[in-house]
Structure 1
Amino acid sequence: MLCTTCRKRPATSADGRCTTCAALRRASAGGLMAGTRAPRGEGPHRLRSPGGLAKAVVVLLVAVVVADVLSVAAGLNVRRVFVAIAGGDMEAYGLTLQAHLLHQRAYSLQLLALVPTAVVFVLWFRRVRLNAEVFDASLQTMRPGWAVGAWFVPVGNFWLPRRVAGGVWAASTRADEGRSTVSGTPMNLWWAAWVLDLVFGRYAARTYERAELPQEVVDAIGLVVASDVLDIVAAVLAMLFVRRLTAMQGERAAVGPTPPSAHRASDPATY
Structure 2
Amino acid sequence: MDQLSARPLALRPIRVSGRLAAGGLLTAGLAWVVRGVWEIRLALAGEPASGPPDQGDGVHRSLNSLENSYHLVTSIGGAAVALSALLFVSWLWRLRDNARALSGDRPKYLGIWVYLGWIVPVVNLWFPRGIVVDAFRSSAPGRRLPASVDVWWALWLIGMLSGVGIVYRDSTDELIARAYHEAWPLLVSDSAVVGAAIAGFFAVRAVTAAQAERMRTAGAVGVAPVGVS
The residue aligned with 1:66 is: 30
The unaligned stretches of length 5 or more in structure 1 are: 1-18, 21-37
Matched residues in 2 for 1:54 and 1:209: separation? 32
The residue aligned with 2:67 is: 100
The residue aligned with 1:218 is: 181
- Which of 100, 115, 127 is the matching residue for 2:94? 127
TM-fit CA distance, 1:205: 4.4
Matched residues in 2 for 1:138 and 1:166: separation? 14
TM-fit CA distance, 1:130: 0.3
Taking only the aligned residue pairs, the percentage that are identical comes to 21
The residue aligned with 2:224 is: 269
CA 1:210–1:70 in 2, change beyond 3 Å: closer, same or farther? closer
CA RMSD of aligned residues (A): 3.5
TM-fit CA distance, 1:61: 2.1
- Which residue identity does 1:72 align to in structure 2? G
Give a deviation string over 1:66-92, Cα, whole Å, max 9, x none: 21121111100111122xx5xxx9699
SS of the residue corresponding to residue 168 of structure 1 reads helix
SS of the residue corresponding to residue 108 of structure 1 reads helix
Give a deviation string over 1:21-70, Cα, whole Å, max 9, x none: xxxxxxxxxxxxxxxxx9449x9741112111111122222221221121
Matched residues in 1 for 2:157 and 2:204: separation? 17
The answer as to 2:14 corresponding to 1:50 is: yes
The residue aligned with 1:159 is: 126
TM-score (norm 2): 0.79
The residue aligned with 1:227 is: 189
Matched residues in 2 for 1:70 and 1:127: separation? 31
Of structures 1 and 2, the larger Rg is shown by 1
TM-fit CA distance, 1:242: 0.7
SS of the residue corresponding to residue 144 of structure 1 reads coil
Matched residues in 2 for 1:236 and 1:154: separation? 25
Matched residues in 1 for 2:102 and 2:143: separation? 15
The answer as to 2:218 corresponding to 1:251 is: no
Q: Do the aligned residues in 1 keep the contact of 2:155 with 2:196 (CA within 8 Å)? A: yes
TM-score (norm 1): 0.67
Count of equivalent residues: 216
